[in-house]
A = this chain, B = another copy of it.
């Protein structure tokens, strides 16, 4: 038997590692109907979607890691709250390939809605996991200050992603830019972000 949260972390690390590595499968060898250089350039939406999704899964892994430096105990509910979050993480390669296939084409709105909507749900799932751990007192008691900084940063997440989702109907590029900006925001450690909060 291993330590309870150690095995949750190991399983989650596996899921994150696979999801982030599978992304490259969406980038194909260009068909041989044109010169390779032109075929490679024509695939730019695939590269953009790959980089964005890699960055997102990476930031989510860093956040997961950050949460579990504070979580000391595990119960049955935490296992399922964590599974719900991992559900969102494993889904990411699909909206990525959807966006790669449709960015800059007539149907890009539907693809962007699915893409931004995925991150809206991910924001909610992160809050569920964290608030569950806080509520059930599964945290390291010594980490009170940084834990409440995380709570503050996460509280605004779903609202910001909802705005980002709504923005898709006004401008797809603007919504994608906001999505990337939000990923930068959640990459920063909460203490620094909340210095003035």
Contact = CB atoms under 8 A, between A and B. Distances in A.
Interface in A1-22: 1-7, 9-11, 13-22
A43 B82 CA distance: 27
A195 interface: no
Interface string A17-44: 1111111110101001001110010000
A94 B27 contact: yes
A117 to B, nearest CB: 11
When all copies of this chain in the complex are counted, the total is 4
A169 interface: no
A4 B189 CA distance: 15
Given A25-B22, A86-B20, A69 B36 contact: no
B24 A21 contact: no
Interface stretch (A58-66, A122-130, A145-153, A174-182): A58-66
B36 A1 contact: no
A192 to B, nearest CB: 9
Contact residues on A (Cβ < 8 Å of other chain), bracket: 35 or more
Interface in A156-194: 187, 189
27 contacts: A1-B71, A1-B140, A2-B3, A7-B9, A7-B13, A9-B10, A11-B16, A11-B17, A11-B65, A13-B17, A19-B21, A22-B25, A23-B90, A24-B90, A24-B91, A24-B93, A27-B94, A29-B98, A29-B101, A32-B101, A35-B107, A36-B107, A40-B110, A58-B83, A61-B83, A62-B79, A62-B80
The 9 closest A-B pairs by CB, nearest first: A14-B17, A36-B107, A18-B21, A36-B110, A58-B83, A11-B13, A15-B17, A21-B90, A29-B101
